[in-house]
Amino acid sequence: MDVLNIHCTLILAVSNMTMALTAHSCVAEGNAQMDSKSFGLKAQKKLLGKMASSKKVTKAFIDDQMASLLDNVYRLCKTYSNNKKDADKVIKNIIKITIKIGILYRNNQFSQEEIALTERFLKKFRSVILTFISFYEVPYSFDKNHMIKSLNDCQDMLVTLIKRHLTDKSVGRINMVFAYFCDSNFQDTVFEPETPLKPHIDKIVSQLNKLIDDGVI
């Protein structure tokens, strides 16, 4: 799960602070039956989900390499749609889901079956990244149906992984992100030979190749 690039120390610090505050609040209200661990975990997810809206806070949880990649994905989305709001939403949803999955993992919330599913997802996602790079670098090799199906497979696995732990709102965030990148017009624009998105994609591909070489993906 290192690919999530979430800073363990900060998560634990926020975790301890949040659990202490929420436990104190519930005890004060006389809730003697409270499950502190469960309640604290829910509070962590809510708190860090809100914190993900801040770019400065986000970079405390995601290392510089991944932050730079996300910045370029943001620029790609903004240039494509000419809509800052849509680009903001895509990146914020990616960050919020990443942080929440990281919290679940750090708190040992995944079953053995879910851990196995995570490994399958990471393997599939790596394959999608390699396919994306190949389609972009090799002229006229783009197969849109294959690309969209591969992304949909990743989407299904990710939703299955988190649906037992997170809310429908989180599932909606995942679906929104994948719907954006699976959009037929978006795919055509990215892979057309003279795409106006080339300056951004060149940077993204270079960064992805480095992440692969470094064993992060």
What is the predicted pLDDT for the residue at 35? 52
**What is the full per-residue pLDDT of the chain (217 aa) written as tens digits?**
444 443 444 444 444 444 444 444 444 444 444 454 454 455 455 555 555 455 555 555 567 788 889 999 999 999 999 999 999 999 999 988 988 888 888 888 899 999 999 999 999 999 999 999 999 999 889 999 999 999 999 999 999 999 999 999 999 999 999 999 999 999 999 999 889 999 999 999 999 999 898 888 8
- Rounded Cα distance, 44 and 205, in Å: 34
Residue showing tokens 């709102």: 169
**pTM of the predicted model as reported, rounded to 2 decimal places:** 0.75
CATH topology of domain 63-213: de novo design (two linked rop proteins) (1.20.1440)
Plot region of 99 (φ>0 → left; ψ -120 to 50 → alpha; else → beta): alpha
User: Are 157 and 120 contacting, i.e. CB atoms less than 8 angstroms apart?
Assistant: yes
Sorted by where each begins, the domain ranges of the chain are: 63-213
